[in-house]
Structure 1
Amino acid sequence: MNTLTHLNAKGEARMVDVSEKQTTQRTATATASVEMHASTLDMIIQGGHPKGDVLATARIAGIMAAKRTPELIPLCHPLMLSKVEVDLEADAQLPGVRIRATCKLAGQTGVEMEALTAASVAALTVYDMCKAVDKRMVISNTYVEEKTGGKSGDWSFDNLATDPSQQPQASQSSQPTTSANALNLHFFAELREQLGVDNLQVALDALPNPTLQELVNYLQSQDSKWDTALKSPNLLMAVNQQMAKPTQKLKAGDEVAFFPPVTGG
């Protein structure tokens, strides 16, 4: 099951540390619609609006908004966008304006929020410029249409399952063992990204002294990747959904969860 990575183990909001993620090419496209009276759309198409070119103004507003996303959404990272493209199309069948915003970069986190912000602000700009002549406009259908790159891979809105629990996971979980004499481990947020695993089972027999600290020592001994990911003295751990100290004794069947150290940002 997917987790909310913007929350720490205490349920507090935080900026996710993406420093360990790989830099990859990432794109996202978001869409929005502004429904309006047919006469309002005709005025936009004919260029007769007293405030000027509605579509051109909304396009610039969307581009500017994408670049300022971290100033508007508290936990978003400042990103060096390499492309922001905002397209507005008059649709007589709606009637109204359909908006598609695409953002692109080479970075360590995705650009879905930048694309959504661009589409949303472009839609708001259309509304603002036309509200004097049409007070029944409706902004709707704002969503991420598709994204590419990053650990979760490529996807499109139409191909996603409607139940979030059925979505493909960002990484493949290890297959559980059939042994009853095992610990069930779960890794969250950056730890999951660093280790490339969601869940893991460890035989209790592998731990001479089955405590949390002994389990951490065992995992760190696997290779340098595990050692680096788990070496922080502020690593957060929980046993059977209760926060626990390194001295916590473990028994077969226990569920052990690992969270990255809580940091500000």
Structure 2
Amino acid sequence: MSDPDSRRGVLRGRRAIITGAARGIGLACARRFAAEGAAVLIVDLDAEAGEAVVAEMDWENLRAVFHPADLSHPEAIPGIVEAAVRGLGGVDILVNNAGIAPTADFFELGQAQFDRVMAINLRAPFLLTQAVARRMREQGTPGAVVNLSSINAVLNGPTSLSYCVSKGGLNQLTRSCAIALAPYGIRVNAVGPGTIATELAAQAGLTGEGVAPVLERTPMGRLGEAAEIAAVAVFLASDDASFVSGQTVYADGGRLGLNYSLPRADQGDGEKYGV
């Protein structure tokens, strides 16, 4: 088996922590980062899925190790950094991908659910960024943090209050951390996906006719792919983005720029209507 660090790629020799990496966008990031030469620490609550991903990547000669963690608990944070140091030798990149998106009627949304969304989607990225930045400072090396935001940092839905608030906060966290960590050569950016064809989207009913409302508001007329988000994350983590920090890059098929609905393909060239 060849030395993984000998592969050519824009992340060759880098060591990356990726949370929520056992499936969906996180898994796509793990695979793409490793393909670009990085050694990856896969962090996920689902140990069985995480171990399976590592075994598959190892078979493909992609360097990855797994660390189980529940990001709703702050005490899990130090162990993640320790696992990266132990398994990878250090850390140069952090991808804060893990997140949850439960829905609830405004009047039925309870404090416990709201707090859990904030704990995983916002508090954990802050604490992990802080812990990883300390390690980068100790190493004396520059680094990059990539947060997985959402178009829902800007857009809203009547049953997605906690999720939208958490992603809006994550955008501000991205900007604040970018300013605080710039003196240490640590860049902090975010990717804001539109609707992506993942298992989570399918569970939310975004298949078949259920996806029509999304497509009516997406100029490119399709859902995004997890690999397309991973490609943006790789760019932001790489030296190609060496002067980019504090930014949220929206990969949404043009959705945020559209203030009306497009006619559906199966409805001919009907009149567009405002929203």
Q: Which has the larger radius of gyration?
A: 1
TM over 0.5: no
User: Scaled by the length of structure 2, what TM-score is found?
Assistant: 0.24
User: Scaled by the length of structure 1, what TM-score is found?
Assistant: 0.25
Q: Which has the higher helix share?
A: 2
Higher relative contact order (CA 8 A, sep 6+): 1
